[in-house]
């Protein structure tokens, strides 16, 4: 045992064990965790010894005042945490310390415009948003539907703005009963439980109707992230032309300062304001040189791919089990026959049994760029993929909207399309303020964006997002991406065996049956 009885008593609250090589930290503020790991990288001491000698027993660190903050004055605790961080940063850390501490934050009653900004980060943040699939969005607050009243649009024409959004919510609400009846008649309950059937039909109804929800619709989102990611997010939001984004940034900043003050303090100081100005100047310049809009004629277009990808991937595969340098291996591969290359690829991927058996990193040597045009609802689902480059255009009504086939089949087309056309007219009235005009655009309208991703990420995206329980709109995009890549490079995509192309009527029913089984197992296990 490394520690005597007294030391063990001091350390016990902060670690899951004191005598094993693997342990977790607990009961420590995020700032302490970050600083502790930073120091850990520059000492021969064990982590627990570092905490004891250099943090707890160093009087200058005022460790007891930080860790026991819940029982002390909160302002004092925050100030002590700031001092603690500054001491560590000057002594043996750098900005990467902010990646070792994190925070959970909830942002409620925010629009579907700002949630996309919150969720744009590629790394460092993990968002979870209230789903349009499992929750009805027709509830009113103080007699009003829950959508963001954008200040500039309200100032321009509040009557038009509210009339447009209200009409969309009215249609959403009015169509619930007839669409539910249609779904239940088309997909009657068979061998599923009442719970599973009700959940699956509810999801189907929500899927059909979500296109009526305007981007102004308010929702809730939770974020977990590290300090550096939060700081960058705040910088971008403070620089946004949207009032809601700036207000949300200020509110988030105030709350994050209560839990990770040192990690976000530069988001709005003189350095932060300089970065914000850089973002704003860039946005203004790009807005001034924007080109005319156009609409692509297919939902998914493979814009670009590497024609030498196969050789690069085969060389990378061989590299893993070789002691040759990469340049030599590339020369070797260039002289191989197609059958020889296929043999290598087969050895690497042919044994996949399900989508979780992902190809290795050699597949990261092939890159693809897809131009995509799909409705905003589908984008919201596909945006969640992080290990790729994506960029979207502003929401607009210029590219038309998608009409769910179930609405046509149920003879509800007019009730569904009338408020969409009204929203299109309202957008045209507000389009001189393109950022703000996004708020009146319903989710049924199409958005243009691109994905640039490697082959490994493509396997993950298309096999996950084509699963039968998914929304048919994003499933269609995923399948089209797989098919476009297969046309270009069939030998590299032949192992993409878990792309589901068949349409499913009641998408969630099989998943709900599995949940029933899990519920049964839990009851059996715990009583």
Instruction: Kindly tell me if the per-residue pLDDT of 72 is higher than 80.
Output: no
The tokens of 316 are what? 């990378």
Q: How many CB atoms lie within 10 A of CB 156?
A: 16
The tokens of 317 are what? 């595969």
Give 184-212 pLDDT, tens digit per residue. Answer: 999 999 999 999 999 999 999 999 999 99
Q: Are 84 and 66 in contact (CB under 8 A)?
A: yes
Q: What whole-number distance in Å separates Cα of residue 346 and Cα of residue 336?
A: 15
Q: Is residue 30 in a domain? A: yes
Strand 140-141 relative to strand 125-129, pairing: unpaired
Domain limit, last residue, from 52, 75, 100? 100
What is the mean predicted confidence (pLDDT) over 461-473?
A: 95
Residues found in the chain: 527
Measuring CA to CA, how many Å separate 337 from each of 319, 326, 332?
18, 19, 11
In total, how many domains does the chain have?
2
Q: Is residue 177 in a domain? A: no
Q: Are 255 and 105 in contact (CB under 8 A)?
A: yes
Q: Is residue 334 in a domain? A: yes
Structural domain that includes position 67: 5-100
Q: Is residue 25 in a domain? A: yes
What is the mean predicted confidence (pLDDT) over 514-522?
A: 85
What mean pLDDT, rounded, does the chain reach?
90
Q: What whole-number distance in Å separates Cα of residue 482 and Cα of residue 469?
A: 18
Q: pLDDT band for position 122 (50/70/90)?
A: confident
What is the distance in angstroms between the CA of the first residue and the CA of the last residue of the chain?
40
Q: pLDDT band for position 46 (50/70/90)?
A: confident
Q: Is residue 56 in a domain? A: yes
Strand order in the sheet with 389-392: 300-305, 367-375, 446-454, 389-392
Give 394-412 pLDDT, tens digit per residue. Answer: 999 999 999 999 999 999 9
Domain limit, last residue, from 337, 362, 387? 362
pLDDT of amino acid 70: 44
The tokens of 169 are what? 């919510």
Between 150 and 126, the higher pLDDT residue: 150
CB hemisphere CA count around 126 (13 angstroms):
6
Q: What whole-number distance in Å separates Cα of residue 383 and Cα of residue 117?
A: 11
Q: Are 374 and 479 in contact (CB under 8 A)?
A: no
CB hemisphere CA count around 83 (13 angstroms):
14
- Listed residue (428, 351, 483, 383) closest to 113, CA to CA: 383
Domain limit, last residue, from 329, 362, 395? 362
What is the mean predicted confidence (pLDDT) over 111-139?
A: 91
Only one residue has tokens 């197992």, namely: 521
Q: What is the largest CA-CA distance in the chain?
A: 78
Q: How many CB atoms lie within 10 A of CB 367?
A: 18
Q: pLDDT band for position 281 (50/70/90)?
A: very high
3-state secondary structure 481-526: HHHHHHHHCHHHHCCCCCCCCCCCCCCCHHHHHHHHHHHHHHHHHH
**Lowest-confidence range among 143-152, 259-268, 325-334, 470-479?**
259-268
pLDDT of amino acid 141: 86
Instruction: Kindly tell me if the per-residue pLDDT of 53 is higher than 50.
Output: yes
Q: Is residue 432 in a domain? A: no
Q: pLDDT band for position 19 (50/70/90)?
A: confident
The H or E element containing residue 284 is helix 270-288
pLDDT of amino acid 94: 59
- Listed residue (381, 390, 384, 392) closest to 438, CA to CA: 392
């Amino acid at each position: 045992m490394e520690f005597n009885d007294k030391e063990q008593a001091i350390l016990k609250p902060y670690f899951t064990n004191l005598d094993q090589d693997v342990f977790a930290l607990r009961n420590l503020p995020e700032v302490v965790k970050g600083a502790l790991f930073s120091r850990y990288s520059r000492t021969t001491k064990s982590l627990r010894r570092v905490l004891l000698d250099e943090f707890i027993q160093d009087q200058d660190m005022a460790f007891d005042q930080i860790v026991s903050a819940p029982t002390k004055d909160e302002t004092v605790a925050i100030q002590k945490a700031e001092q603690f961080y500054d001491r560590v940063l000057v002594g043996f850390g750098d900005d990467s310390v902010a990646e070792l501490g994190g925070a959970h934050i909830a942002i409620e009653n925010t629009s579907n415009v700002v949630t996309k900004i919150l969720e744009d980060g590629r790394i460092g943040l993990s968002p979870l948003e209230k789903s349009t699939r499992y929750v009805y969005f027709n509830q009113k607050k103080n007699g009003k539907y829950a959508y963001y009243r954008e200040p500039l649009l309200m100032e321009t024409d509040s009557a038009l703005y509210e009339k447009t959004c209200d009409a969309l919510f009215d249609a959403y609400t009015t169509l619930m009963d007839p669409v539910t009846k249609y779904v239940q008649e088309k997909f009657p309950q068979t061998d599923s439980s009442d719970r599973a059937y009700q959940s699956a039909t509810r999801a189907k109804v929500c899927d059909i109707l979500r296109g009526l929800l305007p981007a102004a619709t308010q929702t809730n989102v939770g974020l977990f992230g590290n300090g550096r990611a939060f700081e960058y997010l705040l910088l971008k939001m403070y620089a946004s032309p949207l009032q809601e984004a700036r207000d949300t940034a200020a509110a988030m900043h105030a709350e994050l300062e209560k839990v990770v003050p040192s990690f976000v303090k530069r988001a709005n100081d003189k350095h932060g304001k300089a970065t914000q100005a850089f973002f704003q100047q860039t946005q203004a310049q790009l807005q001034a040189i924007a080109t005319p809009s156009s609409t692509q004629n297919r939902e998914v277009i493979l814009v670009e791919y590497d024609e030498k990808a196969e050789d690069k991937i085969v060389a990378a595969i061989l590299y893993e089990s070789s002691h040759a340098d990469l340049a030599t291996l590339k020369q070797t591969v260039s002289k191989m026959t197609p059958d020889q290359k296929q043999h290598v690829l087969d050895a690497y991927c042919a044994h996949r049994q399900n989508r979780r058996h992902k190809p290795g990193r050699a597949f990261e040597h092939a890159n693809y760029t897809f131009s995509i045009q799909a409705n905003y609802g589908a984008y919201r689902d596909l945006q969640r993929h992080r290990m790729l480059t994506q960029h979207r255009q502003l929401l607009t009504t210029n590219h038309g909207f998608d009409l769910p086939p179930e609405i046509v089949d149920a003879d509800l087309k007019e009730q569904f399309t009338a408020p969409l056309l009204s929203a299109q007219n309202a957008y045209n009235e507000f389009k001189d303020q393109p950022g703000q005009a996004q708020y009146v655009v319903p989710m049924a309208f199409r958005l243009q964006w691109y994905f640039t991703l490697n082959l490994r990420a493509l396997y993950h995206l298309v096999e996950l997002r084509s699963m039968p329980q998914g929304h048919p709109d994003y499933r269609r995009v995923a399948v089209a991406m797989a098919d476009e890549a297969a046309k270009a490079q069939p030998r590299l995509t032949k192992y993409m065996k878990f792309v589901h192309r068949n349409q499913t009527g009641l998408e969630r029913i099989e998943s709900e049956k599995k949940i029933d089984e899990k519920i049964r197992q839990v009851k059996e296990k715990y009583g």
